[in-house]
Amino acid sequence: MSNAKKAEPAAAAELFILHDQVHEPMHDRFLWATMQRRDAQAAAIPEWEELRELASKIKEHTLTHLDHYLEEFEANATKRGAHVHWAMDAAEHNAIVYSILESHGVKELIKSKSMLQEECQMTPFLENRGIKVIESDLGERIQQLDDQPPSHIVFPSIHKTRQDVAQLFARKIGTDPNDDDPHFLTEVMRNNARPRFLAAGAGMTGGNFAVAETGTFMVCTNEGNADIGASVPSLHIASIGIEKLVPRVEDMGVFLRLLARSAEGEPLTQYSSHFTGPRKGGELHIVFVDNGRSRRLGMPDFWHSLKCIRCGACMNTCPVYRRSGGLSYGATYSGPIGVILDPTFDEFKYSELPFHSTLCGSCSDVCPVKIDISDQIFKWRRVMAKKGYLPLVKRLAFAAAGHAFGHPEEFRLMEEVGAPALDYAPDFLLYNHSLNPWGRERQLPEPAKQTFREWYLANRSEHGND
């Protein structure tokens, strides 16, 4: 049982919503607009649903033969001059990265976006050992300056207004707090980052895909920051989760047609870069990371989550995520994919996450690799209930309700007790004795003067006891 404090998404979401009349509506609006762009892109491709099915099957095949494809990738990448490392967990990843940097005398590192590096908490690890780490992606940099993790895997600072960013830059970089024009703020970032690229001893990236056939890994960005980081410093280190493998070059046609359309409603990201061995005059290190992935592969109900290509479409479509903001999940991965991944990192800490959903199912529908996200959320609820992680009051309520619902006479008895019948009504009313949560935002429904059953007995009584 973990000692970590339980993440409380409902309470955190409430703070996000109540914060003011600006942040949550903006967050919801932007992500909904992104969804609409995604829908428009998808509608323009007649074979869209077929592409999803192909992507899903390619990933399922790859994962069920993952050892083979990892070995094939390693052989091909090594042949081209890359160094391939293997890290069992986050600690080992960080140690490997540090050792490479240290042996090259790197004091300053510039990196592009990597959820895996975030997962490994690489930045604090390196900074504690005297290596300066600079995020080059605008959204990640904003979050780094604000000492916050990214809130969305594609749009890390989407929960912030332009005023928030302007104020932050003013505090940390010394720019005009009143100039909140996104063009100005982007230019600030450009001018701030550029000298850092030129001074950095190493560039780090993640990897969106790793192609076994040629030993190529891919990095997709809009800013081109990953490419600057890979092409200027002579040392390039890429952190790649073992589940990122795809077998063939031609498979990339399927994934690239799905990725940016799903993530942001564009046909591609501005830059889709393919790295096969080190560049001329450079050195390339690839660090494959397990960190629980091989174990997850063995979970019958949850291994499909490994198909994830980190597009974020599930977050954009999720009505709960849009109102909550990614930070409310208290984990590296938020939104629907976070709900099904995070409990594999810490079941107790993230035991509330599966309930931070209405099970509407739209996440499963937008997932480009057809992960059954919503069904997995449901299954996690069963796990949490079995493990006893449901709040006590809920367990007691269910026990009582369960018994009554299994025994008609008892159920009838509850019903007959007029207005207090609401106390024994379906669980959603039963859950909280004072009925306050329901009553706070909604008017209470009134119990009917005559139940259907009573009406039936009075009006269709010739049927008697069916």
Partner 1 sequence: MTSPISVTNSSTIQKNPRVGLFVPCYIDMIFPEVGIATLQLLERFGLDMHFPLNQTCCGQPMSNSGDEANAAAAENLFVKNFRSYDYIVGPAGSCVKQVRCHFDTIEQTDDVRHVRQHTYELVEFLHDILQVDSFPWAEFRHSVALHNSCSSIRGLGIAKPSEIMGEPFDKTASLLSKVKGLVIVPVDRPDDCCGFGGTFCVTDEAVSARMGLDKVHDHLRHGAEYVVSPDMSCLMHQQGIARRADLDLKYIHVAQVLNGGPF
Partner 2 sequence: METTRSRAAILNAIRYSNLLLSKQEVELPQIPVFQRADGPLKPEFEVHLQKAGGAAHDVGSVAVAEATLKALHLGAKVICSAVPEIIGTRRASEVNDPHELADVDVGIVRAQFGVAESGAVWLTQEDLIVDALGFLSQHLIVLLDPNEIVPDMHAAYCRVRLNETAFGCFMMGPSATADVEATLVHGAQGARSLNIFFISPVQTAD
**Contacting partner 2 within 112-171 (CB under 8 A):** 136-139, 142, 155-158, 160-162, 165
Q: At its nearest, how many Å lie between partner 1 and the CB of residue 3?
A: 24
Binding flags for partner 2, 220-259, as an x/- string (CB under 8 A)? --xxxx-xx-xxx---------x----xxxxxxxx-xx--
Which of partner 2, partner 1, none binds 198 (CB below 5-8 Å, type-dependent)?
A: partner 2
Distance CA 446, CA 434 (A): 16
Residue 269 lies near partner 2 (rule: CB under 8 A) = yes
Residue 342 lies near partner 1 (rule: CB under 8 A) = no
Contact between residue 101 and residue 126 where contact means Cβ atoms under 8 Å apart: yes
Question: Residue count at the site for partner 2 (CB under 8 A)?
Answer: 100
Q: At its nearest, how many Å lie between partner 1 and the CB of residue 421?
A: 6
Contact between residue 137 and residue 229 where contact means Cβ atoms under 8 Å apart: no
Which of partner 1, partner 2, none binds 252 (CB below 5-8 Å, type-dependent)?
A: partner 2
Residue 278 lies near partner 2 (rule: CB under 8 A) = yes
Residue 23 lies near partner 2 (rule: CB under 8 A) = no
Q: At its nearest, how many Å lie between partner 1 and the CB of residue 12?
A: 10
Size of the chain, expressed as the number of residues it contains: 466
Q: At its nearest, how many Å lie between partner 2 and the CB of residue 386?
A: 20
Distance CA 292, CA 89 (A): 7
Distance CA 38, CA 47 (A): 15
Which of partner 1, partner 2, none binds 340 (CB below 5-8 Å, type-dependent)?
A: none
Residue 448 lies near partner 1 (rule: CB under 8 A) = yes
Q: At its nearest, how many Å lie between partner 1 and the CB of residue 24?
A: 7
- Residue 214 C-alpha from the chain's centroid: 29
Residue 253 lies near partner 1 (rule: CB under 8 A) = no
Kindly tell me which residue out of 323, 344, 347, 348 binds partner 1, with binding defined by CB under 8 A.
Answer: 323
Which of partner 2, partner 1, none binds 444 (CB below 5-8 Å, type-dependent)?
A: partner 1
Could you tell me whether strands 283-289 and 235-241 are parallel, antiparallel, or unpaired per DSSP bridges? parallel
Residue 17 lies near partner 1 (rule: CB under 8 A) = yes
Taking the least distance from each CB to partner 2, the nearer of 211 and 308 is 211
Contact between residue 37 and residue 155 where contact means Cβ atoms under 8 Å apart: no
Residue 437 lies near partner 2 (rule: CB under 8 A) = no
Residue 348 lies near partner 1 (rule: CB under 8 A) = no
Binding flags for partner 1, 298-317, as an x/- string (CB under 8 A)? -------------------x
Taking the least distance from each CB to partner 1, the nearer of 48 and 86 is 48
Q: Which long-range contacts (CB under 8 A, 24 or more apart) does 155-159 make?
A: 155/30, 155/312, 156/113, 158/27, 158/30, 158/31, 158/326, 159/16, 159/23, 159/27, 159/325, 159/326, 159/327
Binding flags for partner 2, 62-81, as an x/- string (CB under 8 A)? x-xxxx--xx----x---x-
Which of partner 2, partner 1, none binds 188 (CB below 5-8 Å, type-dependent)?
A: none
